[in-house]
Amino acid sequence: MPAYKRLGLELAGSLLLVAGSAWCADAPTASPNAAPKPAVTMADILAAAPASAWRALADEHTLYMELPAGRVIIELEPALAPHTVANIEAMARAHYYDGLSVMRVQDNYVAQWGDPEGKRTLPAELQSLAPEFAVPQGSTRFTPLADHDGYAPQAGFVDSFPAARDAKAGLAWLTHCYAAVGVGRDTDPTTGNGSELYAVIGNAPRHLDRNVTVVGRVRSGIELLSSLPRGTGDLGFYATPAEYTTIRSVRLASELPPAERSRLEVLRTDSPTFAALVDSRRNRHDDWFVHPAGHIDLCNVPLPVRPINSPR
Amino acid sequence: MPAYKRLGLELAGSLLLVAGSAWCADAPTASPNAAPKPAVTMADILAAAPASAWRALADEHTLYMELPAGRVIIELEPALAPHTVANIEAMARAHYYDGLSVMRVQDNYVAQWGDPEGKRTLPAELQSLAPEFAVPQGSTRFTPLADHDGYAPQAGFVDSFPAARDAKAGLAWLTHCYAAVGVGRDTDPTTGNGSELYAVIGNAPRHLDRNVTVVGRVRSGIELLSSLPRGTGDLGFYATPAEYTTIRSVRLASELPPAERSRLEVLRTDSPTFAALVDSRRNRHDDWFVHPAGHIDLCNVPLPVRPINSPR
């Protein structure tokens, strides 16, 4: 008997990251009793993926948040929150977030950062902003997920971000899956200017969809937020400033010299490879599984991320 | 402008715990412009709940897992995994788990504990056990959730545990929601004897339903597992034993003197109070929300836990 049980999971390669998704690649070998069959596991599918199935993160829309424990990499999605993303990028360029704090970590919910001690004054033009809870779906490159979604008429993906849309209303929006990054606000919907952000670190709080502007997704380093001590104050706010985690800096990747950038690529959700991956995850065929689910929820679909030019 | 934004959440009372659910009670006051209306927030509903809406945790089926950071309280559910629960309780009575380790914490997935260093020899009769992935629904007290579930014909609750059933097949099972506790196993389904357990610490991995025996739920202290450092080895296993978290002991609550027990009660899911709570969470009516969801997923339904005889 092995020293520990697998719980149905094996890792295809340690260089692969899957930010915000349970990474559960299948066993690399098929059952010895099974006839040879087409590649059906995630590991097989990714190994066979052409270079065109991947795209580099957009450096001009990617934030590096430097924490004492390391770098959190957030890719913003201007197509679905153009004004708020522009606001956040302007603040990053102005080094607004440097020295601010993670001041809230609520279990199974969010890690939130901003300016709890009132260190910064926002430029006047950033104080208020029309919310972007949903935007006209227009020309967004929406790849539908075939599976039923309880929270939206249609779930799917835009540019490798989990999203949803209402074709009748002509609207699309980013969804609150694990690792989603959104904009804290007060009761007034116009108060979400981007000075305070959160990342989802628990079971997808989809009821927040269309109530908060979601701006992007943590592509790497979500575990640096999700493993922080939980705040003991109301709502998971830390009881004292001494418990805050200091943000050393937040920079746009495009503003750093190339040598200081993290070169990552994400699987394109409009690729045939991704379609095959979703299908392989909807019904798992490796030996460990005895009851294929026949369904996959939007927020359980892996969005693989890996270093560019990583060895195979 | 307040020092931080609410993100739509306010806490009704710090004595309330909601293990494994985003705790997001509504604002305690209604809009000043609104006419008086029936209680619709979770805080209102819980404040008005009769004593009969709560039940004490079953001490004879509740484990206290003592970690250096504190007590994790796991309530087992014999109705849906009778033999496996009996196995685990026998091992707890034999102090089998004392001195073992949390050896795996995979982000957005599970924390897992057991005997990675082979310290223990299992009694021969516990080596193998028929899996209890689902059981005849028989007389289980199943309270259906009205909302569509992607992973099962019918989602709902049994004895304040999230569950699902297939009436046609006559089967019911516990589901993999946040804080669910299940039994690690190898490829052979009979290898899950209860010597190795895991708790869900991420987005509900419902595809594991009916592939693993789920035995219960962390009722308190899940944050002691979910905030542990993530393992850097394959699948989130710690790379070295030095990283393990030692389990001081695992005891059945009923075996401890009353003074050493944690006296908790959980909201009964077969109560009118719970039905009202689900309805209030399906469509949030506090001022912060602008777009009620009109739906709630099984694993987003709060299962409130609080100390018995807590002050109101």
Asked if the model's pLDDT at residue A175 lies above 80, the reply is yes
User: pLDDT tens-digit profile of A106-151?
Assistant: 999 999 999 999 999 887 767 678 899 999 998 789 999 999 999 9
Taking residue A309's Cβ as centre, other Cβ atoms within 10 Å add up to: 7
Structure confidence at residue B138 (pLDDT): 82
Residue in chain B lying closest to A202 (CA): B202
> Which B residues, 122 through 181, put their C-beta within 8 Å of a C-beta on chain A?
133, 147-151, 177-179
Task: State how far the Cα of A65 lies from the Cα of A305, in Å rounded to an integer.
Answer: 18
Pick from A23-32, A272-281, B145-154: least confident: A23-32
Write out chain B's pLDDT in tens, 312 residues.
334 455 533 332 333 444 333 333 322 222 334 444 444 789 899 999 999 999 999 999 999 999 999 999 999 999 999 999 999 999 999 999 999 999 999 999 999 999 999 999 887 767 668 899 999 998 789 999 999 999 999 999 999 999 999 999 999 999 999 999 999 999 999 888 899 999 999 999 999 999 999 999 999 999 999 999 999 999 999 999 999 999 999 999 999 999 999 999 999 999 999 999 999 999 988 888 999 999 999 999 999 999 998 544
Residue A29: what pLDDT? 27
- Using pLDDT thresholds of 50, 70 and 90, give the confidence band for residue A5: low
For residues A153-174, average pLDDT: 97
pLDDT at A285 (0 to 100): 82
Q: Which residues, numbered 88 to 127 in chain A, qualify as contacts with chain B under a Cβ-Cβ cut-off of 8 Å?
A: 103-110, 112, 114-118
Q: Is B54 exposed, middle or buried (0-12, 13-18, 19+ CB in 10 A)?
A: buried
Mean pLDDT (whole number) for A222-236: 97
Distance from CA of A94 to the nearest CA of B (A): 21
CB contact under 8 A, B3 and A116: yes
Report strand pairing: A142-144 vs A197-200. unpaired
Q: A114 and B287: CB-CB below 8 Å?
A: no
Please report the pLDDT score of residue A140 as a whole number: 82
Q: Do A117 and B299 touch (CB under 8 A)?
A: no
Confidence label for A190 from pLDDT (cuts 50, 70 and 90): confident
How far apart, in whole angstroms, are the C-alpha atoms of residue B178 and residue B109?
A: 9
Band (A310; pLDDT cuts 50, 70, 90): low
Question: What part of B 288-307 touches A (C-beta under 8 Å)?
Answer: 288-291, 293, 295-297, 299-300
A24 contact residues in B (CB cutoff 8 A): 109, 205
Residue range A279-292: mean pLDDT, rounded? 90
**Distance (Å, rounded) from C-alpha B275 to C-alpha B266?**
14
DSSP-assigned states of every residue in chain A? --SS--TT---S-TT-B-TTS---PPPSS--TTSPP----SHHHHHHT--GGGEEE--GGGEEEEEETTEEEEEEE-TTTSHHHHHHHHHHHHTTTTTT-EEEEEETTTEEEEE-TT------GGGS-----SSEE-TT--EEE-SS--SSSSEEEEETTEEEEEETTTTEEEE---TTEEEE---SSGGG--SSSEEEE-SS--GGGTTTS-EEEEEEE-HHHHHTSPPP-SGGGB-SSGGGPEE--EEEEGGGS-GGGS--EEEE-TTSHHHHHHHHHHHS--STT-SS--S---GGGS---EEETT---
Are B220 and B72 within 8 A, CB to CB? Answer: yes
d(CA A79, CA A1): 51
Whether A7 contacts chain B with CB within 8 A: yes
Q: What is the Cα gyration radius of chain B?
A: 20
State pTM to two decimals: 0.90
Neighboring chain B residues of A3 at a CB cutoff of 8 Å: 115-118
Please, which residues have CB within 8 angstroms of residue B190's CB and are 6 or more apart in sequence? B128, B129, B130, B131
User: What pLDDT is attached to residue A20?
Assistant: 35
Q: Which residues of A touch B241 (CB under 8 A)?
A: none
Query: Residue A267 above 90 pLDDT?
Result: yes
Q: What ipTM, to 2 d.p.? A: 0.89
**Lowest mean pLDDT: which of A37-46, A251-260, A294-303, B287-296?**
A37-46
Residues of B in contact with A105 (CB under 8 A): 227
Q: Is the pLDDT of residue A12 over 50?
A: no
pLDDT value at position A58?
97
Q: Which residues on neighbouring strands pair with residue B276, listed in sequence order?
A: none
Q: Is the dihedral of CA A206, A210, A215, A216 positive or negative?
A: positive
Q: Is A211–B21 a contact, with Cβ atoms under 8 angstroms apart? A: no
pLDDT value of position B311 = 47
Partners of residue A277 in chain B, C-beta under 8 Å:
none
Residues of B with CB below 8 A from A228's CB? 227
The nearest CA of chain A is from the CA of B149 a distance in Å of 8
How many Å apart are CA A189 and CA A128, to the nearest integer? 9
Q: What angle do CA B147, B148, B150 make, to 5 degrees?
A: 140
- The predicted pLDDT at position A27 comes to 26
By the 10 Å C-beta count (0-12 exposed, 13-18 middle, 19+ buried), A168 is classed as exposed
A207 touches chain B (CB under 8 A): yes
The pLDDT value recorded for residue B125 is 66
